[in-house]
Amino acid sequence: MARSPGSEDSSRPTTLGELKASGWKSVPVRTEIRNNVLTKIAAGEPVVEGIMGYESSVVPQLENALLAGHDIIFLGERGQAKSRIIRSLVALLDEAIPIVQGSEMNDDPYHPVSRHARQLVAECGDETPITWVGRDDRFGEKLATPDTSIADIIGEVDPIKVAEGRYLADELTIHYGLVPRTNRGIFAINELPDLAERIQVGLLNILEERDVQIRGFRVRLPVDVILVASANPDDYTNRGRIITPLKDRFGSQIRTHYPSEHSTEVAIADQEISAQQYGGTEVIIPDYLKETLARVSQLARMSQRISQRSGVSVRMTIANFETVMAAAVGRALRLEEPLAVARPSDLAAIMPSTIGKIEIEALEHDDDEEIVQALINTAILQTYKDRIEIEHLGEVVGAFEDGLVVEVGAQVPSACYQQYLADLPALKSVIGPLRSMSVEEEASAVEFVLEGLYLSRRLSKDHSDTSASYRIR
């Protein structure tokens, strides 16, 4: 790796002569990243951190693309971690590299590109002052929007510099855009198809031909940049959205996807909300409810009543986790319970966080809330069948046949559920595999079993605004 000679800023060379004496060698950014990827692979470390569900699909393709030195485009629907992957590539750059002091383009002291850096090296020689930039300063990112201009991407003549007395023919009048300022680094474009065709042409030229025009001023810019982009497949494959030469410029096209297992979706959501704080209140989402929430998203991705053109984002799962946690905290505070544990009755709260992240197909008589409720019911039933053993269920149903009625709800105190368990010992045996320990966790488990019996048509359920009652059918 082309690491800096010293670990401390004070030990790093500050002039071109000192840099030469230190033995530091300059390598292209593609070589730099390739060397760092090889080091991670040899050490058994993941190439990108914090990415789940892609170990056997996206990650191997990404490794090959980086080792090959390719420009990369990630194709995938929303919420498939495309931007996260792109930003994680910054960690594959060296910790710091030297640049000519005052350079706007991260000029390599050995091979300066900009007019300022070339003049400074020519005048000062080995006394040329240099500074060091960290990896984060070598990453540029732009969301492609219709109003993106050539000035944003490549550069423009700076009228202030002209007013200071410079001629238009002077390269020093140019204010460089994002790509030149990311020289010796990674430049990312999100939602590439939204970039106007004339801007795509300029981008192609600067990356491929190294020869661009700014207001008629011909500039040679041999920038050393890896281009990474993201796009939705539906937009990317439409004719006319991407110019053919630019599409051909990408060495690798990597297709992302949603988690194939609900356990992976749960792990992603857990990772994203691990730092969530609620004023010191401990919040628990039981595993069976986490699994249920993940299944809601996965069922939505298979539903014909929900548009699949833009996908069903993993962000929906994360938002639903957060919503259920918020509902549990609110109940715990109102009822003065020491532990906030999510219950199946809290799933009613995810309507807003779900409806806001899906697009319902325009079919006659479809109601958004009915569609989402059907997803929730199916998810609960699938999880119930996977988690609950049928032993002792007959005893539970038998107690209801004797006239037992159980009232539950998001605002029913957890202590009330203890009476149900006392009246119905068989229910205690049923919730045992759910590993319930606290009073609050047992309340949640009781609700889960009763709702499963209702959805499997062994009990009936009467609804009110604040509670629900289970009884024999």
pLDDT of residue 4: 41
Q: Report the candidate in 346, 317, 344, 347 with the shortest Cα–Cα distance to residue 431.
A: 344
User: Which tens digit of pLDDT belongs to each residue from 13-59?
Assistant: 999 999 999 999 999 999 999 999 999 999 999 999 889 999 999 99
Kindly report the pTM of this predicted structure.
Answer: 0.85
For residue 94 the two structure tokens come to 């060296």
CB 13 within 8 A of CB 130: yes
- In the chain, the N- to C-terminal Cα span, in Å, equals 71
Instruction: Write the CB contacts of 114 (distance below 8 Å, at least 6 apart in sequence).
Output: 103, 104, 105, 107, 171, 176, 180
- Interatomic CA distance for residues 210 and 395, integer angstroms: 78
Q: Where are the domains of the chain?
A: 9-255, 262-472
Domain range 9-255, CATH class? alpha beta
Q: What is the mean pLDDT of residues 162-172?
A: 59
User: Which tens digit of pLDDT belongs to each residue from 456-473?
Assistant: 999 999 888 788 998 987
Q: What is the mean pLDDT of residues 384-394?
A: 85
